Amino acid sequence: MNGTTTAGPGNSRTASGPWRNWAGNVTSRPVREANPASAEELAETVRRAAEDGLRVKTVGTGHSFTSIAATDGVLIRPGLLSGIRRIDREAMTVTVESGTTLKRLNVALAREGLSLTNMGDIMEQTVAGAVSTGTHGTGRESASIAAQIRGLEMVTADGRLLTCSAEGNDEERAVFAAARIGLGALGVITAITFAVEPVFLLTAREEPMSFDRVTSEFDALHAENEHFEFYWFPHTENCSTKRNNRSAGPAAPPGRVSGWVDDELLSNGVFQLACSLGRAVPPVVPPLARIASRALSARTYTDIPYKVFTSPRRVRFMEMEYALPREAAVAALRELKAMIERSPLRISFPVEVRTAPADDIALSTASGRETAYIAVHLYRGTPHRAYFTAVERIMTAHGGRPHWGKIHTRDAAYLSGVYPRFAEFTALRDRLDPDRLFTNDYLRRVLGD
């Protein structure tokens, strides 16, 4: 085994130190790192790692809270695999290099008069990292980012460059069915082709609403809006709702002052101070929550999609999210509220609720069922185990599926029971990576070995 090479295919070099994720809760020490500048260089990096007996993982911007990207072998950094390869206006697709961030993609598409149909609420992730972990937003008909994929290019364990789509041969269709959310277990993605559409306008309507009203009207709010989500503030009866719907315009972005107050001052600056205070002095959390839940005012604004779907998130936190059958969401949320109220827990972060339609991706959290997502957060550095354990107990009782990139304790035995196509995915993994070149401790737990 040779772990001391300082140069070579794919700009391989000895790792300069440990890698840490965005939240700071995951650290790994790879033997070496590679920064390939092309799919061919990446394929050579994979082949060489296999020859040296080293495992391979790719890391994006580190926004997963799980150790899904951690490795003690070769860590691939895809920063040089960035940018748009081509735009096909006849097919309405864009092909983008795997290390491109969602922010760069969205800005470039807007410049071309194009847009993704739906997206999550942050743009810092690489496209490959986002789709591999099942990143999603909220939507009545439009699903996760991965559901917008029309083609994939990836390097397999034998160093092959494989392209796949729903229109390919039998092998390519089988890989496409699974690899859109592949957890990094099937190969290393080098490029992704997304469906796009002409850029459009969304009108966002943000409005405070009581917990009882939101939960009693949840089905109607979901049915009446293209994109509906809400946040409940623990220790209060208050929620903040957001409804995004397509608009004929004209564009009317948030006012500079009001937008800064809501998005930067209240959601990041003051919120950071409140979280820091709550971590140091837990008894102040409930009164601070009551103040915070009343501070965000109602507002309406209209803009291009990525400026409406996404928001700045500068307060670092830990997160757990579960996907439930949509019909179970309100019951689970009420159980969560009752659990917090009878416990000594002091929760400074709001609970986020979103939805997604069923999709056909094997390990998508919305695979085969209408879905609601319930996400819980705690400020970084706050002990999270008691809260997350209690939340997970509620979610698993409703057949919940954990987000692949967020904290959970589930294993293959549990996951095979909540994913009807779990065996289909693991059988494909056995064919594509029989020697487990792309495995790590996390994948051993969630997929088995």
pLDDT of 88: 98
Distance (Å) of CA 118 to CA 63, 161, 231: 19, 29, 19
Summarize pLDDT for 21-54 with one digit per residue, the tens. 999 999 999 999 999 999 999 999 999 999 999 9
pLDDT of 267: 59
Summarize pLDDT for 101-120 with one digit per residue, the tens. 999 999 999 999 999 999 99
pLDDT of 265: 43
Please, what CATH class does the domain formed by 84-198 belong to? Answer: alpha beta
pLDDT of 280: 82
Mean pLDDT, range 173-194, rounded to an integer: 97
pLDDT of 264: 47
Considering Cα of 191, then 192, then 198, then 204, what sign does the dihedral take? negative
Summarize pLDDT for 197-225 with one digit per residue, the tens. 999 999 999 999 999 999 999 999 999 99
d(CA 390, CA 201): 40
Of 262 and 240, which is predicted with more confidence? 240
Q: Which tokens sit at 416?
A: 């095979």
Domain map of the chain by residue range? Answer: 84-198, 202-303+315-409
CATH of domain 202-303+315-409: 3.40.462.10
Does position 5 have pLDDT exceeding 70, yes or no?
A: no
Length of the chain: 449
